[in-house]
Amino acid sequence: MGGKKGKADVNSITIKGIVVPVDWDGKGRVIGVAISTFNEDEYLVDRNEKGADLMRFIRMEVEISGILRREENRHMVTVKEILS
């Protein structure tokens, strides 16, 4: 009956890929990013302090470590460290 309730599936992960914009404000400024990997997976980045730091790397390759979870069939990552 209905969807699964409770904790999200959570794992530590290291991701390498290109930072891409995914959300904009009313003035066209980027307010959300994702990391697009070379095997075409996309990881939406939480808007915490480290996630906000990725804004300066738009269209650049990065490697990050963080906490992965799935929400509504989407990969979400909370960035803990920007490795490169």
Rounded-to-integer distance, Cα 81 and Cα 84, Å: 9
pTM above 0.85, yes or no: no
pLDDT tens for each residue of 2-17? 444 445 556 999 999 9
**Residue 9: predicted pLDDT:** 57
pLDDT at 27 over 80: yes
Q: Domain map of the chain by residue range?
A: 10-82
**CATH domain 10-82 topology:** OB fold (Dihydrolipoamide Acetyltransferase, E2P) (2.40.50)
